[in-house]
Structure 1
Amino acid sequence: MENKKKDVSLYSQTLTVLFILLFMGSVFIVSNRNFDLFETYRKYWTIVIGLLFIIVACTNITANKGRMNLSIDTILKGVFAAGVLESFFALAQLFKFLPSFNRYYTYTGSFDNPAIFAMLLSVSTPIAVYFAIHETVSLKRKTVWWIAALSLLVFIAFSESRTGLLAAILSSATVALSESEKLRKRLFNLHSLILLLPLAILLFYLIYRFKADSANGRILIWRIVMDMVKERPLMGFGPHGFTANYMEYQASYFLNNPQSRFLLLADNVNNPFNEFLLVLVNYGMMGLTIVFCTLVLIIKRIREFNGSCRSVITGLTIVLIIWSLFSYPFSIPFVWVITLLILTIAFKLVIQRTYKYSCPIIFVSCAVCMLLTLYRYFPEREWSMVSFRSQNEGKDIVLSDYIRLYERLSNNRRFLYNYGAELHYYGYYDESIDVLKECSSKLNDYDVQMLIGNCLQHTGDTLGAIERYCYANRMVPSRFLPQYNIMNLYIVSGDTVQAVRVANTILQKDVKIERSKAVQRIIREAGELLQTQNSQITTEITD
């Protein structure tokens, strides 16, 4: 009997430690020296160790005849600890002890985007609230938990992430309401609701006004996405549907709406900032229906769960739903880990009841997935290393590496773009065009079109280059570089009339980023061209 208890305890400790290591790795595997390489390590660490966790969990359930022993409280404290460590990481960046991973932001934590930093903290906040409410023994510990929750909210506010703040507040409120019957009675009455409704409207309005341009930019994206959905509503555009087609629709939108108020807000877009819309574009109503049914089932299972942590798991689910409405959380490794935790809790009872059948199937599936993951990992790691070394190695070595990797990574849109860019850099323009055209079937955006245009320009195809630059300009009308390149092509070809026309267009454009030195140089050169032409006309008239 004692041996059985020891085995159960060992399994529980192994699973708990493995999960915490999994989560910590998904957050803190990072390096300033080669961020992309370590981002690959972080992604594959999360997948492989996550699959290993599931395999060990299945072994645990089978060995204990349907019981899974997992210390949820310890795991939640581990997730919270990651949020606290991330806050200290950001403080070290703020005071210049550590470098930021994005030169445009003072601090980003262990990520290259402050929004992802805020995403992690919004996951940790409801956990702090949960333990603050559950702490009944020590008033000091209870106070520490509340201070921690408020501190995380302050960090989120300073990161200027509206979604992070909204997710943290709503999920924490959900935890507090679920845990406190007294609070529910106070809030869920007519007088309280009448008071809270205008406050909620004011909060949403302030969040919108805080970054109105950013919010309007997303409204533009969602509006264009609806045009895409109208064309293929049932099955969608396929796995690369959004990245291959969205910018083409954005170009068409501005072609038909040249005076749109969104002209300055449009940018190069590779994600709709809404996971549900991404599924809708790629897989249509069929895919979205499956997602919604799965989400409803998860929420139903969480409500049926009788454990004390039900409120915080509900809070974490709300965090992911809110982020899914306004961002791209499911491309972030630590979100996969939180999703794994939610699924483990939601389907724990189902798996325990059917462990004789479900555990072997899950075990074999995870083992196969792990082998496939490792098969994909090695070429991606090598590509990251080749990309990093390409600055110091000769073109023959770099291109031979890319040719070899192409066999394994030809379905990776980022690899194809990088391969095309390297070919362009080394002067293989025809080959670069071929690779970039292949890339455009998976990723067709402003950068791809500008690179193809530049290749065509170098091969002497002036009309083809102008066509590509015009296409890129329609994709992102606020950019100056496409028209600048067109102006220079007309100058080189001797078509002064067209060059002057484009120069006038450049001078009449609204400037999105006033301080951009590149934009200032382009405007100055366009002005000098017009001044030169006016001087020549004046001289001719005088003569």
Structure 2
Amino acid sequence: MLNNFSFTSKKGVVLIQAFLFLVLVLACLNNPLISQWSALPNVYLFFFISLLFSVPILILELNDSKKRLNLIDLGVVFFFLFLIIHIIWNIGNGNLFLNDSLLSLSFILIMYFPFKYLIKHNYSSVVQVFILIFDIHLILGAVQFFYSYLNGLDISLTVSGSFRHSGIFSIYLASFLPIRFNMAKNKLDSIFSYWNIFLLSFILLLVLATQSRAGLFLYCISLIFLFRTYIKSFYSKSRYKVILLTATIIFSTALITTLIYLKVPSALGRLFIWQNSFEMFWQKPILGWGSGGFEKSYLDQQATYFKNNLSSDAYKYKMVADSVSSPLNEYLKILVDHGIMGIFCLAITIRIIWKFSKNIHNKNEYSFFFTLTLILLSAFVYFTFQSTTIFLVLLLCLAYISSGESELNLYVTINKSVTLLIKGLLFILCSLLFYYSLEQYNATARWKKAINHMESHPEISLKVYKEISNELNHRPAFNYNYGVTLFQYGRYPESVKIFEDLRNKFVTLDVMLYLGKSYQAVKQYNNAEKIFKDASFMVPNRFIPKYNLFRLYHEIKDFKKADAVAQEILTMPVKISSNEVDSIKNEVKKMLIK
């Protein structure tokens, strides 16, 4: 039946495009990030539909014995071979968990060969759906913009499309521009048409509304790409080339300087994060800290810096330090987590992609390479690789780039025995992924119900938490929520165990504070004191760690230490005024008077 299905027929193309549209909609709505999910079982719907979309097309692809492969194709194949080995290894060691990021990447990359198959049979079939998703995001951004404006909300936070983060949304808009204008089905001949000028202006408005410097910078680069023919012609005919080039350099320098100056504290904060991240890299330069190493160890590194530095630079950084789970630089994160070996593998991948760019002669294909380049550039200043939608755009670009004729292509013929083996491995892999995702979906659905019924049936809900802890123990959001719930209902010894385990996996300021309060509740005062002190160094501009330490000293009647901490609280500079800070200062003053 599959063999008789035609992708070249109008009905076939429409059906496949409708299915792909559903896949992308589910990804955009339910999976803004590839990991760190909360009690949202809907994130798994994208996985199920992705599998349902990909498997039939993969079978059709395997039925063709003649294959044209290249290094990008082989890289995707090796990823899935690694995944199979990883799953078998975990099962052998009694570990039935898959890293959430690895799970997401599996369901994204499984669409790579289906994309290539569809491109081969109908060149524009896949990208038209992505363009439709892009246009829907423009409409959604417009609605968010006007709604925020009319209701007096912060536009820079609410204009975020389906990404739930305005910075990532602006990067998506700016990076996809080359594809949007070069591949639109009914595009007008001239970039200077009224419609195109309106569209570019409207996208600029949305990018400016997000106040994202990276988005604005990428937008300017996209404009250069779109108008490159006119710019090249203008420079070649002008008699004032030196003056124009000088003016361009001055303008570019001024733009970059202005973008930094617009948010000096933000820029300073990033520099501080990068400085500490490089320090972590030098501690373990070869293989890094392991997967999730940054999330587990960064705040400890930040605390070490403030403990050992009392210079003016340290004081300056105190006001911009924060509890972060990303270095805002994906390459630096790879360097911290996987060391030189990780960066080496990434460099090889980028080198392979660059080789393909030299074989691009079609203007449309070059737009995919340029979008890919913009996304890779954005990863220097954002957590770009954590966005599911942007990862799907990356996959789209790779599929188109590797679909063309190239000297890097390898033509092979696969016999029936090998085809049968590949189909068998595909069946095993897809079955394992489906079963695991279904188990996770059911456990997450029960977690959500437990949260909803906690107030009315706390004992039953806590029992559910315990039952699903084996399935969701690998997820930091679940452990944190479970630990907080145990603490709120007075189950302090159990909350200590949960937060101690989480302390070794995923460290945030909130995790530290609840661990300290749990220690205090079971009268492990020395441990509580150490945790609160560490927390106060991790994010030294926050009042709450010192406040908890102050209350601890009062509880154990160590008034000398309590008075010393109180003086620190009262003399601390305020980063952002709030009712919480005012309340803490007032309470400390009252207790000092007593």
TM-score category of the 2 structures, normalised to the smaller one: 0.7 to 0.9
State yes or no: 1:529 paired with 2:587: no
Residue 279 of structure 2 corresponds to which residue in structure 1?
Answer: 227
Matches within 5 A, 1:317-336: 317-336=372-391
Q: Which has the higher contact order (CA 8 A, sep 6+)?
A: 2
State yes or no: 1:247 paired with 2:299: yes
The DSSP-based 3-state class of the residue aligned with 1:21 is helix
CA distance in 1, matches of 2:250, 2:191: 35
CA distance in 2, matches of 1:56, 1:302: 31
Residue 82 of structure 1 corresponds to which residue in structure 2?
Answer: 133
Residue 467 of structure 1 corresponds to which residue in structure 2?
Answer: 530
Which residue, out of 131, 145, 158, partners 2:196?
145
Which residue, out of 398, 401, 425, partners 2:464?
401
CA distance in 1, matches of 2:230, 2:61: 30
Deviation at 1:205, TM superposition (A): 0.7
> 1:11–1:69: 8 Å Cα contact kept in structure 2?
no
> 2:28–2:162: 8 Å Cα contact kept in structure 1?
yes
Deviation at 1:269, TM superposition (A): 1.0
CA distance in 2, matches of 1:426, 1:102: 36
State yes or no: 1:353 paired with 2:411: yes
Residue 174 of structure 1 corresponds to which residue in structure 2?
Answer: 225
Residue 452 of structure 1 corresponds to which residue in structure 2?
Answer: 515
The DSSP-based 3-state class of the residue aligned with 1:105 is helix
CA distance in 2, matches of 1:101, 1:363: 53
Give the letter aligned to residue 466 of structure 1: E
State yes or no: 1:373 paired with 2:433: yes
Residue 537 of structure 1 corresponds to which residue in structure 2?
Answer: none
Cα distance change of structure 1 residues 512 and 488 upon mapping to structure 2, 3 Å threshold: same
Cα distance change of structure 1 residues 167 and 356 upon mapping to structure 2, 3 Å threshold: farther
Deviation at 1:102, TM superposition (A): 10
Residue 278 of structure 1 corresponds to which residue in structure 2?
Answer: 333
Deviation at 1:19, TM superposition (A): 3.4
Which residue, out of 468, 475, 483, partners 1:420?
483
Which residue, out of 312, 334, 341, partners 2:396?
341
| Identical positions, percent | 23
Cα distance change of structure 1 residues 335 and 379 upon mapping to structure 2, 3 Å threshold: same
Cα distance change of structure 1 residues 333 and 186 upon mapping to structure 2, 3 Å threshold: farther
CA distance in 2, matches of 1:293, 1:413: 32
Deviation at 1:190, TM superposition (A): 4.6
Cα distance change of structure 1 residues 105 and 136 upon mapping to structure 2, 3 Å threshold: closer
Residue 198 of structure 1 corresponds to which residue in structure 2?
Answer: 250
State yes or no: 1:298 paired with 2:353: yes
Residue 495 of structure 1 corresponds to which residue in structure 2?
Answer: 558
CA distance in 1, matches of 2:47, 2:468: 22
**CA deviation string 1:233-285 (max 9, x = no partner):** 00011112111111110000011123411001000011111111111111111
> Structure 2: any 5+ residue segments left out of the alignment?
69-116
Deviation at 1:386, TM superposition (A): 3.7
Give the letter aligned to residue 125 of structure 1: L
Give the letter aligned to residue 287 of structure 1: G
> 1:483–1:506: 8 Å Cα contact kept in structure 2?
yes
> 2:31–2:388: 8 Å Cα contact kept in structure 1?
no
Mean CA deviation greater in 184-193 or 482-491: 184-193
CA distance in 1, matches of 2:5, 2:230: 32
Residue 41 of structure 1 corresponds to which residue in structure 2?
Answer: 42
Deviation at 1:474, TM superposition (A): 0.6
Cα distance change of structure 1 residues 460 and 249 upon mapping to structure 2, 3 Å threshold: same
State yes or no: 1:480 paired with 2:551: no
> 1:416–1:439: 8 Å Cα contact kept in structure 2?
yes
Residue 541 of structure 1 corresponds to which residue in structure 2?
Answer: none
> 2:38–2:478: 8 Å Cα contact kept in structure 1?
no
The DSSP-based 3-state class of the residue aligned with 1:168 is helix
Which residue, out of 493, 498, 502, partners 1:439?
502
> 2:288–2:336: 8 Å Cα contact kept in structure 1?
yes
Q: CA RMSD in A?
A: 3.6
> 1:20–1:75: 8 Å Cα contact kept in structure 2?
no
CA distance in 2, matches of 1:192, 1:495: 71
**CA deviation string 1:380-417 (max 9, x = no partner):** 43325246425444222222222222222222233222
**CA deviation string 1:340-369 (max 9, x = no partner):** 212212322577834748987876666544
CA distance in 2, matches of 1:495, 1:36: 41
CA distance in 2, matches of 1:75, 1:476: 46
CA distance in 2, matches of 1:106, 1:7: 40
CA distance in 2, matches of 1:155, 1:104: 9
> 2:155–2:210: 8 Å Cα contact kept in structure 1?
no
CA distance in 2, matches of 1:353, 1:497: 79
**CA deviation string 1:210-229 (max 9, x = no partner):** 11111111110100001101
The DSSP-based 3-state class of the residue aligned with 2:317 is coil
> 1:218–1:273: 8 Å Cα contact kept in structure 2?
yes
The DSSP-based 3-state class of the residue aligned with 2:167 is helix
CA distance in 1, matches of 2:243, 2:421: 53
**CA deviation string 1:11-35 (max 9, x = no partner):** 655554443332233223489xxx9
Give the letter aligned to residue 24 of structure 2: F
The DSSP-based 3-state class of the residue aligned with 2:297 is helix
> 2:450–2:465: 8 Å Cα contact kept in structure 1?
no
> 1:484–1:522: 8 Å Cα contact kept in structure 2?
yes
Cα distance change of structure 1 residues 133 and 178 upon mapping to structure 2, 3 Å threshold: farther
> 2:454–2:461: 8 Å Cα contact kept in structure 1?
no
Residue 87 of structure 2 corresponds to which residue in structure 1?
Answer: none
Residue 117 of structure 1 corresponds to which residue in structure 2?
Answer: 169
CA distance in 2, matches of 1:353, 1:305: 19
Instruction: With the length of structure 1 as denominator, give the TM-score of the two structures.
Output: 0.85
> 1:429–1:459: 8 Å Cα contact kept in structure 2?
yes
Mean CA deviation greater in 271-280 or 383-392: 383-392
Cα distance change of structure 1 residues 218 and 135 upon mapping to structure 2, 3 Å threshold: same
CA distance in 1, matches of 2:61, 2:153: 41
> 1:320–1:329: 8 Å Cα contact kept in structure 2?
yes
CA distance in 2, matches of 1:360, 1:342: 30
The DSSP-based 3-state class of the residue aligned with 1:353 is strand
**CA deviation string 1:495-531 (max 9, x = no partner):** 22222211110011010112x100011111222333x
Mean CA deviation greater in 233-242 or 396-405: 396-405
State yes or no: 1:520 paired with 2:582: yes
Deviation at 1:293, TM superposition (A): 0.8
- Count residues with an aligned counterpart: 524
The DSSP-based 3-state class of the residue aligned with 2:326 is coil
Cα distance change of structure 1 residues 305 and 49 upon mapping to structure 2, 3 Å threshold: farther
Residue 142 of structure 2 corresponds to which residue in structure 1?
Answer: 91
Deviation at 1:475, TM superposition (A): 0.4
Deviation at 1:184, TM superposition (A): 7.5
Cα distance change of structure 1 residues 175 and 311 upon mapping to structure 2, 3 Å threshold: farther
> 2:321–2:540: 8 Å Cα contact kept in structure 1?
yes
> 1:220–1:262: 8 Å Cα contact kept in structure 2?
yes
Give the letter aligned to residue 587 of structure 2: E
Give the letter aligned to residue 239 of structure 1: S
Deviation at 1:487, TM superposition (A): 1.3
